[in-house]
A and B are shown apart, each in its own frame.
Chain A
């Protein structure tokens, strides 16, 4: 086909302008900024690797790294199991389309709730006085007279559960459509052989979904590493740094303390980790595309 550069770039120009200005340029600036002491006076003073040395000398850094690992690892493992469970329930067992859609719709409610409302919902649910929703239930069951300050006592557990609730729908719906795509004769053959439901799940559904599982796990991990809105709104990393994660600490350094250079250095270190996940995701999705093309 004939090349028509002018026409093509006419179509592409708004995309290229916006992406260059607010994606690529900021990416380059982040790298540069990480080596400066940029603060609220916005003077570019190059300080070499001083910011990075500061990150590793900060006594809070080990705690933040451990928090991040606990947060990501717990969220991802629980989410994957719960996603698979709900996908199998609403696709393999509940085959009436309208009933299945209803349940999937309910699972989507936390996902579509705006983050600001969602966080207040949790703060209300767990409020520390004796009139709090969970405290009423807790004191009713245990007969205890002292209300529990849930968010202050269990900040990590709270943000982990809140985050898991919002991510269930995405994986469930993806797995559900992947289960629907499994050829029906595989199930029929298993039933003829007298396979129990658990065996069907273990030896048909999960093996068929293995690349989907890998893809969603990597994708969600990328999101968990970088998206800190839920934590920001519920605990703000507190009390102290009890629920501070890496991405949120970059936000705090830059936007609360106005240490932009330092914040950029923290972001840059996270970007290095993120790149590894990006490569892994590209490899998995390229593999999935090849498999799909082969199947056709």
Chain B
């Protein structure tokens, strides 16, 4: 590990590291300044420190002629949506990834090729016909419909990642579980699943992040505006002149919205960095 060589590293290398740190710090300062200036507006009203921008948490607030609807339902929907999508996506992709990696069956190589293809195919381009499919099965404008689409569009990517983790487990480990009297199902849940924990962590992280911040699916597949989530709720507010005249309330709301992401980010930053190619797919 590079970090452990510190004592033995020559002075010229340490000097270069210091210069690099200064350059990086200067380049990172704009990000800090912008984010801090934006979010600090949440804590000021008319230039004085105040928490009254956070009043929306417990009461309906009126800004000029505009009444801001309570955030509760949107927040609840977002939590529900994210939880269901993340858990279901992880379970389904683990099952599929395991079968593709470990089992012998008719059509295996066709499915392997299909997975490679689907992983790269941008599902966003299919939204128009997905809308039609949802309408046909009467799930348009419902949270359940968006849940299905959100899972389906991410499934090939997650399955691909978790399949690679399964591929890396030595076959002997599983065989010994099978010899010891496990059947496929118990071997899967008692032995194998524990060996791919890093893979599960990685896909659930990306799934959480994308579900929590997803805007596009709600915008295109929920036309009635009756099932608000945080993303569409904040978007509606940001299009309102009264709100935008003063960013205080908006940045307070944005802060609440971002808090779970930030917590998750700090916890999982290390594994995010090892996440490799998995984070690249839009939705």
B-contacting residues of A (Cβ < 8 Å)? 1-5, 7-9, 11-12, 14-16, 18-19, 21-23, 25-27, 29-30, 33, 38, 42, 86, 89-90, 93-99, 101, 103-117, 119-121, 123-125, 133, 170, 173-174, 176-177, 180, 197, 215, 219-220, 222-223, 225-229, 232-233, 247, 250-251, 254-255, 260, 263-264, 267, 270-271, 274, 278, 281-282
Is the pair A254, B156 in contact by a Cβ cutoff of 8 Å?
no
B80 CB–A CB distance under 8 Å: no
Complexed CA–CA distance, A9 and B105 (Å): 8
Chain B contacts with A in 248-280, Cβ cutoff 8 A: 250, 254, 257-258, 261-262, 265, 269-270, 272-277, 279-280
With contacts A121-B38, A227-B282 known, is A25 near B133, CB below 8 A?
Answer: yes
Query: A123 contacts which chain B residues (CB < 8 A)?
Result: 238, 244
> Nearest chain A CB to B168's CB is how many angstroms away?
12
Residues of B bordering A, CB below 8 Å: 1-3, 5-6, 9, 13, 16-17, 19-21, 23-24, 28, 31-32, 34-35, 37-38, 91-93, 95-96, 98-100, 103-106, 108, 111, 116-118, 120-133, 135, 137, 148-149, 151-153, 155-156, 159, 184, 209, 212-213, 215-216, 219-220, 230-231, 234-235, 238, 244, 247, 250, 254, 257-258, 261-262, 265, 269-270, 272-277, 279-283
- B152 cross-chain contacts in A, Cβ below 8 A: 18-19, 21-23
**Nearest chain-B residue to A11 (Cβ)?**
B99
Assess the A96–B17 pair: CB atoms within 8 A. Answer: yes
CB B267 to nearest CB in A, in angstroms, measures 12
Q: Cβ of A12: which chain B residues have Cβ within 8 Å of it?
A: 95-96, 99-100, 111
Contact A29 B132 (CB under 8 A): yes
B153's partner among A15, A22, A111 (CB-CB below 8 A) is A22
Please report the C-alpha to C-alpha distance between residue A251 and residue B216 in the assembled complex, in whole angstroms: 10
Which residues of chain A have C-beta atoms less than 8 A from B262's C-beta? 112
What residues of chain A lie closer than 8 Å to B215, measured between beta carbons? 114-116, 229, 233
User: Which chain B residue lies CB-closest to A172?
Assistant: B273
A15 x B274 contact (CB < 8 A): no
* A11 x B128 contact (CB < 8 A): no
A117 lies within 8 A of B148 (CB): no
In the assembled complex, the Cα of A51 lies from the Cα of B251 at a distance in Å of: 43
With A3-B104, A27-B129, A96-B17 known, 13 other A-B pairs at CB within 8 A are A12-B96, A21-B152, A23-B126, A96-B3, A98-B3, A116-B230, A223-B282, A226-B282, A227-B124, A255-B127, A255-B220, A260-B132, A267-B126
A12 vs chain B, min Cβ distance (A): 5
Chain B residues with CB under 8 Å of A254's CB are: 127-128, 131
Known: A42-B135, A110-B31. A94 touches B20 (CB 8 A): yes
Contacts of B151 in A (CB 8 A): 18
Assess whether A108 is in contact with B24, with CB atoms less than 8 Å apart.
Answer: no
Do the beta carbons of B125 and A3 come within 8 Å of each other? no
What secondary structure prevails in chain B residues at the interface with A?
Answer: helix
* Chain B residue contacts of A278, Cβ below 8 A: 117, 120-121
> What are the residues of chain B within 8 A of A33 when measuring CB–CB?
128-129, 132
Residue pair B116, A282 in contact (C-beta under 8 Å):
yes
User: Given A18-B92, A18-B151, A113-B258, do A101 and B20 touch, yes or no (CB 8 Å)?
Assistant: no
> Chain B residue with minimal CB distance to A121?
B38
Q: Are A174 and B277 in contact (CB under 8 A)?
A: yes
Question: For B16, B265, B276, B280, which residue has the most chain A Cβ atoms within 10 angstroms?
Answer: B280
A274 in contact with B122 (CB, 8 Å): yes
- Could you say which residues of chain A place their CB within 8 Å of the CB of B216? 115, 229, 232
- Residue numbers in B under 8 Å from A14 (CB-CB): 91-92, 95-96
**In contact, A120 and B238 (Cβ under 8 angstroms):** yes
The distance in angstroms between the C-alpha atoms of A25 and B215, with both chains bound, is: 23
Q: For the complex of A and B, list the 4 residue pairs with the smallest distance between their C-beta atoms, beginning with the closest.
A: A114-B213, A97-B3, A15-B96, A93-B20
Q: A2 CA to B270 CA in the complex, in Å?
A: 41
Task: A89 to B25: give the CA distance in the assembly, Å.
Answer: 11
Residue of B nearest to A29 (CB): B129
Q: Is there contact, CB below 8 Å, between A29 and B3? A: no
Cα separation A119 to B238 with both chains bound (whole Å) = 10
Could you name 29 residue pairs across A and B whose Cβ atoms are closer than 8 Å? A3-B104, A8-B99, A8-B104, A9-B105, A14-B91, A15-B93, A15-B159, A21-B133, A23-B121, A26-B130, A30-B125, A30-B126, A93-B20, A106-B31, A112-B261, A114-B213, A114-B231, A114-B257, A120-B247, A173-B275, A222-B122, A226-B122, A247-B124, A250-B128, A254-B127, A255-B220, A267-B126, A270-B125, A281-B120
Q: Are A22 and B148 also in contact (CB < 8 A) when A255-B220, A282-B116 are?
A: yes
Instruction: Give the chain B neighbours of A197 by CB distance below 8 A.
Output: 16
A26 and B118 form a contact (CB under 8 A) = no
Q: Nearest Cβ in chain B — how far from A184, in angstroms?
A: 9
Q: Tell which of B91, B103, B276 touches A7, judged by Cβ atoms closer than 8 Å.
A: B103
Closest to B128 in A: A254
Give the distance to chain B from A88, nearest Cβ to Cβ, in Å: 9
Q: Taking CB as reference atom, which chain A residue is nearest B255?
A: A117
Query: A264–B128 contact, CB under 8 A?
Result: yes
Q: Are B3 and A95 in contact (CB under 8 A)?
A: yes
Shortest CB-to-CB span from A243 to chain B, Å, is: 17
* A30 touching B13 in the complex, CB below 8 Å, given contacts A2-B104, A11-B98, A227-B282: no
